[in-house]
Structure 1
């Protein structure tokens, strides 16, 4: 598996939003969903505002998709990352720091137990 390049990580990290498209069973891409993305070291993560509903269910079909952010377009694998308490604490801090210009209740939509329980790591392929 190929990792993110430093340039890709930097571009996505400096972008506020990411467009995510998950693959359907037939391999076609669903419509893009706009979301926030955070970085932890050399990894990128997303969380659904509504937990395991909505677009998150689409990632369960093939665990594959495409993301676009900061001029980077990349095919990815979606990997569950909700079982590591230390990681979730670090991601909470990353979300609060990166999106501090937004109201607490908005940031709180991705910094709660429901969102934490559906954290996905974006692994380039």
Structure 2
């Protein structure tokens, strides 16, 4: 497993949003999708409000890799399904970072969204 360097971890973690391009089976990139991104401990995470059946989340499953851009960082990444043991830290990170959007943040804290939690690791 490759880890983020401190600078990129900080920049991506504080970015308001992240653009994610997942790789298709043929290696080409899908159109970027803009989403919220959080840092919990030493990892970067994203979630789909629509859960594992959300279109962009399904797109990450063909090759489990792609590219992200956030906070001035552009990186090739691998998508790893987060372990349920990570969910509490990710929930807390979403609440802390996006809590000012009270009526919206709750959508990324549902069981459906939690089950789609992806940990992004540089490759």
TM-score (norm 2): 0.95
Alpha-carbon deviation of 1:118?
A: 0.7
TM-score (norm 1): 0.93
The answer to whether the 8 A contact 2:18-2:68 is kept is yes
Alpha-carbon deviation of 1:82?
A: 4.2
Which 4+ residue blocks in structure 1 deviate beyond 3 angstroms?
none
Q: What is the 5 A alignment of 1:76-91?
A: 76-84=77-85, 87-91=86-90
Structure 1 unmatched ranges of 5 or more? none
Tell me the number of residue pairs that the alignment of Structure 1 and Structure 2 aligns: 122
SS in structure 2 of the partner of residue 108 of structure 1: helix
Structure 1, residues 58-113: CA drift from partner, whole Å, max 9, x if none?
Answer: 000000100000000000000000432xx2111111101001221x2200111110
The two structures, once aligned, show a CA RMSD in angstroms of 1.0
The answer to whether the 8 A contact 2:14-2:38 is kept is no
**Which structure features the higher share of helix residues?**
2
SS in structure 2 of the partner of residue 106 of structure 1: helix
